[in-house]
Amino acid sequence: MRIARLLAVPLIALAAAIVVLLPTSPASAHGSVINPASRNYGCWERWGSRFQAPEMATEDPMCWQAWQANPNAMWNWNGLYRENLAGNHQANVPDGQLCSGGHAEGGRYNAMDTVGNWRAASVSTSFSLRLQDQASHGADYIRVYVTRSGYDPTTQPLRWSDLTLVSQIGYTPASQWQPASQGVQIDIPVSVPARSGRAMFYTIWQASHMDQSYYFCSDVNFGGSNPTTPPTNNPTTPPTTQPTTPPTTPPAGSASCTAAYTQAGAWTGGFQADVRVTAGSRAITAWTVTLTYANGQQVTQVWNGTATTSGSTATVRNAGYNGSVAAGASTTFGLLGSGTSATPTVTCAAT
């Protein structure tokens, strides 16, 4: 049993983190703070079904720069974590990199650190922060911080010295969390008296299944009002604008593609992976990736693609918006699976 479990701390006063998703989501492996939404969850929730809509650049410019920098930071809104830090958060997450978890996942989430006018949720000085745990990991602890009075998230990078701990809970197994549409969720009471204007909540979720630390920045406006919000994202509806357009007359040669499989996370009884599909020497208009696992693993969910399964074999075809890939260019899809994580045999076919 870890020290955190022995020193389980009662609820103090603020909020925690969860999955950036309302009842449905594109990826369901881990979790995020969903209310007030973490930066990448909020960007996915508002724009995931139309992530190339040009109006985002003016209506939601901080999300626009994040989507341009790395769309996978939003598609994988629930994967912003670091492993094996032994609780040494400040030593491993430098000032100015708190919102990306110290450039977690090879820098996938770096745009979360960008200083600017992120869309802020309107909150009162007393509310409940909600964290969703899609994989039912539970928590060794959850700590919620708020930025000090006078800190301006629109002009200043976030530093550890800007934060004040306002709420925390100790060891809390998933069985004690509330059921959610996917996994479980927990509400953490927050009280920040006499605050007004812009601020940020910073949540650290130390999962219980292994030494895995999650980091979430949530922008808020105490006593303010939210700007006009685009329609709630329906993750099952693909964007109407295709990311790329193939040439009118493809060059000579056969359509071909390759697929590279990368494990993105694993836990007892399940795993998450990313697959990068790269076109060959000519543009392609559609692709199909076949994944065959050797030891009974099964693909249970796919985003940025459509899947059919037969036992331990999954056939993933492009979604309506990412089948067209220019010569030498790439697109990605993600998946969740059941069983022990392992690299499958991967083939790719294109037209």
Q: Is 61 exposed, middle or buried (0-12, 13-18, 19+ CB in 10 A)?
A: middle
pLDDT band per the 50, 70, 90 thresholds, residue 11: very low
| Residue 159 confidence (pLDDT) above 90 | yes
End-to-end CA distance of the chain: 54
| Residue 174 confidence (pLDDT) above 50 | yes
Average the pLDDT over each of 1-15, 32-46, 62-76, 292-306 and give the range with the smallest value: 1-15
What total number of domains does the chain contain? 2
User: Is 195 within a domain?
Assistant: yes
User: Is 132 within a domain?
Assistant: yes
Task: Label residue 235 left, alpha or beta by phi (over 0 means left) and psi (-120 to 50 means alpha).
Answer: alpha
DSSP run (H or E) holding 104? helix 104-107
72 & 201 share domain: yes
CA distances from 94 to 38, 158, 164, 217 (A): 19, 10, 17, 15
Decide: 278 and 329 in contact? Cβ < 8 Å. yes
From 167, 195, 222, give the residue that closes a domain: 222
Q: Is 123 exposed, middle or buried (0-12, 13-18, 19+ CB in 10 A)?
A: buried
| Predicted pLDDT at 22 | 34
User: Is 235 within a domain?
Assistant: no
Q: What is the CATH number of the domain that holds 330?
A: 2.60.40.290
Note down the domain range covering 190: 3-222
Mean pLDDT (whole number) for 3-30: 39
Q: Is 342 exposed, middle or buried (0-12, 13-18, 19+ CB in 10 A)?
A: middle
User: Is 241 within a domain?
Assistant: no
User: Is 228 within a domain?
Assistant: no
CA distances from 35 to 4, 121, 131, 139 (A): 25, 8, 7, 18
95 & 170 share domain: yes
Give the pair of three-digit tokens for residue 298.
């099964």
27 & 73 share domain: yes
Average the pLDDT over each of 100-109, 178-187, 205-214, 240-249 and give the range with the smallest value: 240-249
User: Is 346 within a domain?
Assistant: yes
188 & 92 share domain: yes
| Predicted pLDDT at 133 | 93
From 178, 200, 222, give the residue that closes a domain: 222
25 & 148 share domain: yes
User: Is 284 within a domain?
Assistant: yes
Average the pLDDT over each of 20-34, 131-145, 171-185, 278-292 and give the range with the smallest value: 20-34
201 & 273 share domain: no
Going 150 to 147 to 105 to 83, the CA torsion angle's sign is positive
12 & 66 share domain: yes
Q: What rounded mean pLDDT belongs to the chain? A: 83
Cα three-residue angle 102-24-70, rounded to 5 degrees: 35
190 & 267 share domain: no
Q: What is the CATH number of the domain that holds 204?
A: 2.70.50.50
| Residue 249 confidence (pLDDT) above 50 | no
| Predicted pLDDT at 335 | 84
Radius of gyration of the chain (CA): 21
From 222, 245, 275, give the residue that closes a domain: 222
40 & 119 share domain: yes
User: Is 97 within a domain?
Assistant: yes
Decide: 350 and 330 in contact? Cβ < 8 Å. no
| Predicted pLDDT at 13 | 34
